[in-house]
Amino acid sequence: MDVANHAGVTKSVVSRVLNNDHTLSIREETRTRILDAVRDLGYQPHTGARALAGASTRALALLIPDLTNPVYSRITRGAVQQARVRGFAMLLAEDSADLSVDRQFADLVASHRVDGLLIASARPNHPLLGMLPDSRIPHVFVNRVVAGSGRNISLQIEAASQAALDHLLALGHRRIGHVSGPEQLAPTVSRRAGLLGAAVAAGIPEPSIESGEFNEQGGFAAATRLLADHPDLTAIYASTLNQAIGVLSAVHAAGLRIPEDISVISYDDLPLAGFLHPPLTAIAMPLMELGQAAVDALCAQLEGAPPEDVLVPGAPEVVVRGSTGPPRSGAPAGAAKVPS
C-alpha cells in the first residue's frame, strides 16, 4: 500500500486508522501523517476490502418488488430517510425473475459489500432466501412475513381488510367482490384472510374472489370477470391501489356507475387516489413508518440486538371519497352484523 510507505507505517495501521478503529493507540502526529498521505495520494478505500476485513461499509441494500409501484416508493422513502439519519447509504434493487439479476444481488450479499439487507420481495422462492441462513448478514423482511424468521417488519394487514369491509357494511352492502393478488404471494393471503374472516364474523355471504397481478391490467381483468360472473355484486374491494385503477376502468367499461351501481374501495391510500374518477375510497397505511421501522430494526441487529418481529403501530384508516356509497335500490338485502 503506497499510503503505508508514504507515511512510514504498516498496512494494518493504515487500515485501522481509515476504519476509525478507536482501540488503536498511536501518536496523534502519526495519525495526521497517515491522513495527509491519504489526501496527497488521492487514495480511496475499497469498501469491499474493508468489509472483508470486518469493517462497516456504512451501506444497506433494499430489495423491492417493483420500482414503479407508488406504495413501495413511499416505503423506500421512509427507509432511505431513516438510513440517512443513522449514517448509512442505501442501495436499491428491483426484484426480477431474471437469473442474472438474482445472481448480482446474491454476489452483493456474499461479498459483504453491504452491512445489512431489507427484503421487501414478495416472491416466496427468491434464491436469496436460501442463502441468508448461512451468510450471517443481518437482514429483515419488509411488508412480508417469513414464518419462523423472527425478522418480519409488518403492518396490520388483516385489520385493513376488516376496516374495508366494515365501511361497506355500514353503507348497507352484502354482496361484495374481492380483486385479489397472485395466489402464491404473502400479501394476497393476508388481505384475503382478513376479508374472509370479517365476512364470517359479520354473517354475510362469502365474498366472490378473482385473482390478478398487482397492477392495473390485473385489476381490470379480475374485475371484468367478477362483474360478468356475479351481476348481483354491489361493491368490490381491491388488494392494491394499482389494481383499483383497473377496477374503476372495468366498471366504467361495463356501463356501470360508481358508486351508484358499484362501490369500489382499495387497500393502500396514496395522494393519487384523490385524483381518480371518481376519487377513490382507500385504506391508509403507515407506509413511510414501515420503511423507517425496518431500518431501525436492522440497525438494532447491527448493534448486537437479537432479531425480532415488529408490528408497526398505527391502525388502518378508511379515507372516504367518492367511490363508495349505499348499494343500488333493488340489490339483495339482508341483515348483517354492522360494527357499532
Higher-pLDDT residue of 33 and 339 is 33
pLDDT for residue 52? 47
DSSP β-ladder status, 281-284 and 317-319? antiparallel
Considering the domain architecture, whether residues 151 and 300 belong to the same structural domain is answered as yes
> Which residue reads 503506497 in cell numbers?
2
Beta strand 176-180 pairing with 152-154: unpaired
Residue 220 has pLDDT above 80, yes or no: yes
Please tell me which residue, 43 or 26, carries the higher pLDDT value: 26
Q: Quick one: how far is CA 61 from the chain centroid?
A: 14
Residue 330 lies in a domain: no
Is residue 96 one of the residues assigned to a domain?
Answer: yes
CATH of the domain at 66: 3.40.50.2300
What pLDDT does 35 receive?
A: 80
* Structural domain harbouring 23: 1-45
Q: What is the pLDDT of residue 51?
A: 47
How would residue 102 be classed by pLDDT, with cut points 50, 70 and 90?
Answer: low
Residues 151 and 294 in one domain: yes
Identify the burial level of 49 via C-beta atoms within 10 angstroms of its C-beta, where 0-12 means exposed, 13-18 middle and 19 or more buried.
Answer: exposed
Q: How confident is the model at residue 44, as a pLDDT?
A: 60
Q: Which residue has the higher pLDDT, 307 or 32?
A: 307
Measuring CA to CA, how many Å separate 23 from each of 1, 8, 31, 78? Answer: 22, 20, 13, 34
User: How far is Cα of residue 10 from the mean position of the Cα atoms in its chain?
Assistant: 46
Report the mean per-residue pLDDT for the chain: 87
What is the secondary structure of 43-77 as a DSSP string? ----HHHHHHTT----EEEEEES-TT-HHHHHHHH
pLDDT band at 55 (very low <50, low <70, confident <90, very high): low
Q: Judge whether 164 lies within some domain.
A: yes
Per residue in 119-141, pLDDT (tens digit) is 997 666 666 766 776 677 899 99
- Lowest-confidence region among 59-63, 264-268, 330-334: 330-334
38 and 122 both lie in a single domain: no
Tens digit of pLDDT for each residue in 175-196?
A: 999 999 999 888 899 999 999 9
Q: Does residue 328 belong to any structural domain of this protein?
A: no
DSSP state of 174: -
pTM over 0.85, yes/no: no
In a domain, 319, yes or no: no
Answer yes or no: is pLDDT of 244 > 70: yes
In a shared domain, residues 70 and 22? no
Please tell me the total count of domains within the chain.
Answer: 3
What is the pLDDT averaged over residues 322-331? 88
* 209 occurs within a structural domain: yes
Residue 23 domain flag: yes
State whether 138 and 254 are in the same domain.
no
pLDDT of 98 reads: 65
* Better pLDDT: 1 or 42: 42
Confidence of residue 336 (pLDDT cuts 50, 70, 90): very low
Is residue 11 scored above 90 in pLDDT? no
Instruction: Kindly report, residue by residue over 227-237, the tens digit of the pLDDT.
Output: 999 999 999 99
Does a structural domain hold residue 335?
Answer: no
